[in-house]
Amino acid sequence: MTSLFDPVLTAADSALRTLFARPHASRATPAPSEAPGEMSEAERREAGALMRVNHVGEVCAQALYTAQAAVARDPGLRAQFIEAANEETDHLAWTRQRLDELGARPSILNPLWYAGAFGLGLVAGRLGDPWSLGFVAETERQVEAHLDGHLSRLPAADSASRAVVEQMKSDEARHAAHAVEAGAAELPAPAKALMRAASRVMTTVAHRI
């Protein structure tokens, strides 16, 4: 009986910790290669908005990996999803730290983003492990591209945020590679386009609220 409820309890614990607890990283915050410079108020606001978007992405990552782990058929794959979620917790903590340092706040819609991502993770997981892995691979590729775009938009003086984003980008690329190695199926083009459209909506809204 306990084993039947384990995925439910794990999912509930993840949601509560992600949305209402202060995340703790297992790795030190990436250090910038050069000291941060002075930013104008406009630059600080833009950096805060970009890091809010990145924080939302990490909220969604927690939801996706937790949902996919809950319905994964292969115990080894379930463990891989949980490990990835744990590493994404570092990103969650780093982006929240930068929000605090920049005087910005997390998105007030985080519960909505979490619920939506959790639902997508369940759907992807129910389609079978190869498709679930394919969803991970494509998600991480799109996130990597999104982070690359943020590196070009962050103020040059905000070397602290840039260091965090660069490490996140490296980690996401590794997650995508691991998914492919584990047997990810290639998603059809319409599915990829739909994912990009949904991501644009999320990033546009989260940039503001």
Which one, of 202, 45, 181, 25, lies nearest residue 97 by Cα? 25
- Mean pLDDT computed over 148-170: 96
Crossing angle of helices 189-208 and 129-153, in 10° steps, is 40
Q: Is 146 annotated as a binding residue?
A: no
Longest dimension (CA), the chain: 57
Of the CA atoms within 13 Å of residue 207, those in its CB half-sphere come to 12
More confident residue, 142 or 1: 142
pLDDT higher than 80, residue 181: yes
User: pLDDT confidence of 159, banded at 50, 70, 90?
Assistant: very high
Q: Over the stretch 12-70, which tens digit does the pLDDT of each residue have?
A: 778 888 888 888 999 999 999 899 899 999 999 999 999 999 999 999 999 999 999 88
User: pLDDT confidence of 1, banded at 50, 70, 90?
Assistant: very low
Question: Which class in CATH covers the domain with range 2-11+38-208?
Answer: mainly alpha
Q: Over the stretch 101-124, which tens digit does the pLDDT of each residue have?
A: 999 999 999 999 999 999 999 999
Q: Is 178 annotated as a binding residue?
A: no
The domain spans of the chain are 2-11+38-208
Q: Is 88 annotated as a binding residue?
A: yes
pLDDT attached to residue 149: 95
Which one, of 195, 99, 112, lies nearest residue 146 by Cα? 195
DSSP 8-state symbol, 182: T
Question: What distance in Å separates the CA atoms of residue 49 and residue 32, rounded to the nearest whole number?
Answer: 20
pTM metric for this prediction = 0.91
Q: Is 172 annotated as a binding residue?
A: yes
DSSP 8-state symbol, 35: -
